[in-house]
Structure 1
Amino acid sequence: MATAITAPTYDPVTTSQGLADQYVLARQQILNAQTSAASATAKALTELGSAMTTFQGTLASLTGLNKSVFTQSAVYSDAGFGSATASASAAAGSYSFFVKQLASASQVSYTGLGDNAGVGGALKIKLGGASAFEVDLAAADSDANGILSTRELAAAINGAADNKSLVTASIVTTGSTSELVLTAKNTGASNRITIDTSGVTGPSSLAAANADPARVRELVIAQDAEIRIGSETGTPIIQASNTFTAIDGVKMTFTKAHAAGSAPLTVTVGTDTAATTANVQAFVDAYNKLKAVLNKLTDAGDPSKGAAGGAFAHDGGIRALNDRLVSLLRPAAGGDTLAAYGIIATKEGTLELRSDRLQAQLARNPNGLDKLIGSSSASAPSGIAASLDGFLKSWSNATSGQILKRKDANTTLQKTIEDRQAALEVQHEAAYQRYLKQFTALATLQNSMTNNLSMFDAIFGNDKD
């Protein structure tokens, strides 16, 4: 009997796949690592850019044009007379005013109006005796039925090209007739409403009403506001608006007038400690959020504990950015410091606010805080805010910043890695096909030999004569 030959059993496809994988394994591992690093970099750059933009937005809201961290308030001795606000430049102190009268907006009505046929020409609306705008009455007949209704008249006044909401017209219907009510947008004697119907043609009930003093009523008389400095007999200040800026840096709005013989209103201007503290805390919180992102992205990690480092753990440029932010909090010249106002640096590089120290320093030097922090306004940059904003713009600028440049470079790198991956896959496929061809031929040969062995065994086996 022939000796049996036991050949190894294998699948050419599986064997070829495994050998092809081994053929490209080292290069595939390198590409995998590069792909992972590039993806982490792209995500980290987006996170960093977002953190910078958020911080710059907070800076703008706190220190932008006409804004400041230091806040003052203007408080009325009687809140029933209105309210006031004070800018950081307002001089602290108490001021007295007697509100003699409030400004009012003109409101006039024309009674006994009806719908009229054949009305045309131009209706002139006047403010303070001067023509404000004209209304084309022929065009006011919106349904073109030859009759100008009172509602069409009101709509034409409101829709006049030059009206621009200076005067609002409305209709009040009383029985078989209507009343046209005109209301001025702005207060003051210079905005008293009158109409000129000399240019109106046809049988106009409005023209007839305007010519009859009994049918024209001033519902609200237009008048200027008048306040007196110090007392009822003090120096008068007269203007069309109820909002006054008689005190530098203070805006006062009055909603009530004094009765004759009443005590004047006191306006007290001083530091708004609560608002200032809230602004400083907002600055501290915004900076800490940015710093937390930078600290995370540049963290070295701890391999002994299996803690991976940040995406920029070995990036000198990002670490320099992190360090530069800390240095910008320290003014180059002498004078007040953030620490003097209770803004203290921690060992992690973040900030914390000690409100008691802030309040004590504000009492000693209230204007020093704004001078120190300054403004991020593009028109008048100053102080720490300008330094921080200017430096961050070199990174966050949407057209030329470092983050954009880094993103572009990283995108190019990712495209290169994709090309290398595609080339490696071609090599893998070529190796697979080569191995498959070889092992398929080997399997075929093995099967042939096995078949021959079986044939020999059948012919020459011991059980044959």
Structure 2
Amino acid sequence: MATYDPVSTATALAENYVYARQVQLDMASSKVQSQTSALNSLKSSLTTFTSALHTLSGKGDVIAQTATVSNATEITATASSKAAAGSYSFYVSKLATAQQSLFSASDLGLMPAMATDAATGQTTQVKNHHQIPEPSTVALSVGDEGFVSVDLKNADSDGDGQLSVTEIARAVNTAMEGKVTAAVITDNNGEQKLLLNAVSTGSAGAFKVKNISGTEVAGKQLVAAEDAEFRIGGVNGEPVTSSTNSYNGIEGLSIEFKAVSTQPVTVTVAKDEAQTKSNMQSFVDAYNTMVKAIDKLTASGNAESGVAAGALSGDSSIRSLRNKLNSLLRSSVDGVSLTDFGISAQRDGTIALDGDRFAKKVAANPEALSSLLGQTNTLEYKRSGVLGNLQTYVDSWTKTTGGHLQSRQDSLQKQQSQFSKQQSTIDRLYDQAYQRYLLQFSTLASLEDQMSSTSSMLASMFASSNQSS
């Protein structure tokens, strides 16, 4: 019997045959995978940073203002950085209301549906059901818009040849596309009626109805469409009307009327220093988070202390990214930079905000900070200041078409495809070597078994010969 196993021997020799190639490929593939993961992490960090920029820019300005009202049950207000500080007095004499009217089937020109008893031949009305009319359309208009036809013939959704008020309401809702809504109410007598509601308040949202004869009908008006009426400057101030209960006629100030005034309501606009500082701190924090993420990916490591290097260690393009971000952060507008507002660089590459210095500088020149930070925007030509410049540069890295990161990721993906082909070649070489070794050592094992059998036979023959002599 052979002293070795051909299968395990062939396996070991075949693995040794491709060992160098496999180790080299595994190392290269692992490096590419690490870089791919690192680039994905970098993209996530950069994208998170630009989201923070958009959030800050979306506030309208880093400089926050508050609007305080003397009676919040009657008026609410918000102020942007464009609102001029000061006090504004409002007196509301009427709120804007949305029209609401009730229509019976007869208002629309509909006749009750009739049913005949098969046994008695007696004809009676079918409650809350109506005949499909001819002509079959009613019409509604909103404000100065033209009339929209509602075909009642097509409203018979269950195909029973009759119209229910529910079917009429459904047809109105479909035709009016949210400009007027229809609902069904039932009165004390069990009669169903069509309740129409204007979606928009004021005279601009008022609607008109024509019945099947083309005659304009009013129905029963429950709520009239009225504009809001108020005065700016108190009871005897400047009169203003609005189709809604919102007023944005003072730059940077948004007013919402909640109730008719019992006395003038004062809205006081003032700078919110705490929120302004918080806004600026959010920018500092977002920048620092991004920088730390980049530094972790590019860390050189320390072999003596067992600290592994980052996957992008020594990457010159990432180092260029890091330097450019720092340069953009230090840029100035009209001779003013973030350093002037108390934002300073730290030894580890992060930045810090000096709250006291920031508050003093903002108080002295708030417009300078607004101009310096600028705005982000989806359209590049509308971007400005530090925020806009940072967004444009980061976008050049993160955009999915032509972005630096996408180009590198595409290149790594091609390498991975090549590695897959190389792995297929190694697998083929391994299989060929395995089959070759398996055949060789299986043949050798067979010869060894034959020689062992022959040796045993000869030994037996010689032993018998010695005994007979």
TM norm structure 1 = 0.83
Task: Quote the offset at 1:312 in angstroms.
Answer: 0.8
Which residue number corresponds to residue 36 of structure 1? 30
Higher mean C-alpha displacement, 455-464 vs 54-63: 455-464
Cα pair 1:150 1:171 within 8 Å, conserved:
no
> Which of 203, 208, 211 in structure 2 is aligned with 1:189?
203
Seen in structure 2, the aligned counterparts of structure 1 residues 120 and 85 have a Cα distance that, compared at 3 Å, is: farther
Match of 2:138?
123
- The 3 A distance-change label for structure 1 pair 456 and 252 is same
2:297 and 2:248 map into 1 onto residues whose CA distance is: 50
| 1:91, distance to aligned residue in structure 2 (A) | 1.9
Structure 1 residues 440-459: aligned runs within 5 Å: 440-455=442-457, 457-458=459-460
User: Within 5 Å, which residues of 2 pair with 1:161-310?
Assistant: 161-162=175-176, 164-197=178-211, 199=213, 217-259=220-262, 262=263, 264-310=264-310
Tell me the percent identity: 37
Q: Quick check: 18-27 or 120-129, which moved more?
A: 120-129
Q: Which stretch shows the higher mean deviation, 286-295 or 450-459?
A: 450-459
Secondary structure (helix, strand or coil) at the match of 1:99 reads: strand
Equivalent residue number for residue 158 of structure 1: 173
Match of 1:392 in 2: 394
Query: Is contact 2:184-2:192 (8 Å) kept?
Result: no
Stretch of structure 1 that moved more, 165-174 or 396-405: 165-174
Give distance in 1, aligned partners of 2:261 and 2:353.
Answer: 44
5+ unaligned residues in a row in structure 1: which ranges? 1-6, 211-215
Write the distance in 1 (CA, Å) between the matches of 2:439 and 2:158: 89
1:132 and 1:304 map into 2 onto residues whose CA distance is 83
CA displacement at 1:428 relative to structure 2: 3.1
Distance 1:351 1:34 in 2: 37
CA distance in 2, matches of 1:200, 1:174: 30
Pair 1:368 & 2:368 matched: yes
Tell me if the contact between 2:94 and 2:260 (Cα under 8 Å) persists in the aligned partners.
Answer: yes
**Counterpart amino acid of 1:226?**
E
Q: 1:311 to 1:126 in 2, by over 3 A?
A: closer
Amino acid at match of 2:35: T
Q: Distance in 1 between matches of 2:4 and 2:317?
A: 55
CA separation in 2, counterparts of 1:457 and 1:130? 119
After TM superposition, give the deviation of residue 377 of structure 1 in Å. Answer: 0.4
Q: 1:80 to 1:450 in 2, by over 3 A?
A: same
User: Deviation digits for residues 387-431 of structure 1, max 9, x if unmatched?
Assistant: 221112221111211222111211111122222222233333333
- TM-score, normalisation: structure 2: 0.82
Q: What aligned pairs does 1:28-67 form with structure 2 within 5 A after superposition?
A: 28-64=22-58, 67=60
Q: Deviations over 1:145-182 (max 9, x none)?
A: 565444444444333x2463335454342215455433
Determine if contact 1:115/1:147 at 8 Å carries over to the other structure.
no
Amino acid in structure 1 at the alignment position of 2:419? I
The count of corresponding residues between Structure 1 and Structure 2 is: 443
Partner of 1:102: 95
C-alpha change, 1:176 and 1:454, in structure 2 (3 Å) is closer
Out of 66, 69, 79, the residue aligned to residue 86 of structure 1 is 79
Could you tell me which runs of 5 or more consecutive residues in structure 2 were left unpaired when the two chains were aligned: 114-130
Structure-1 residue corresponding to 2:350? 350
CA distance in 1, matches of 2:223, 2:40: 59
SS of match in other structure, 1:164: coil
